[in-house]
Amino acid sequence: MKKFTTFLILTSSLPLLSNESSYMYLDCGDETPTVYRQHLLLRVLPEASLETLDNNLKWRRDRTQIINLDTYVTIGEAGYYQITRDTLRLKIMNKYSFDSEIFECFTTSKEKVDEEINLIKTKKKSKQKI
């Protein structure tokens, strides 16, 4: 019985363990007055999850995700994210108002996203006073 329970725990956690090469990376453009650049870099595990960067520039997967044939929907630091799968059009809706913005995304490499993250970190650190 103990072996069976261990097997169940391992198999139920398999989707959480993913090969880094399985991810697709999306760049959804430049920041706006209400959406920071880091919130426009996305990581997608096809058919499984949409991940966003939090304010500490760490990948975050919200527990609330809706994935269907048309869209990925999740909650991130910038609000509610909805990305249309065929056009890669991202809509970010503010959590506290009815405001939303639409961005055009394109696929990019992990290396390019890592470069962007490092650039954001450098800019933030250069502005720090303490």
Structure pTM?
A: 0.81
DSSP character for 16?
G
Cα(60)–Cα(52) distance, integer angstroms: 5
Predicted local distance difference test score (pLDDT) of residue 130: 86
**Pick the residue with more confidence: 59 or 98?**
59
Average pLDDT, the chain: 87
The string over 50-66, giving b where at least 16 C-beta atoms fall within 10 Å of a residue's C-beta and e elsewhere, is bbbbeeeeeeeebeeee
Instruction: Please determine, for residue 15, whether its predicted confidence score (pLDDT) is greater than 50.
Output: no
Predicted local distance difference test score (pLDDT) of residue 29: 96
Instruction: Please determine, for residue 73, whether its predicted confidence score (pLDDT) is greater than 90.
Output: yes
Predicted local distance difference test score (pLDDT) of residue 9: 37
Residue 128 dihedral angles phi and psi, to the nearest 5°: -70, 140
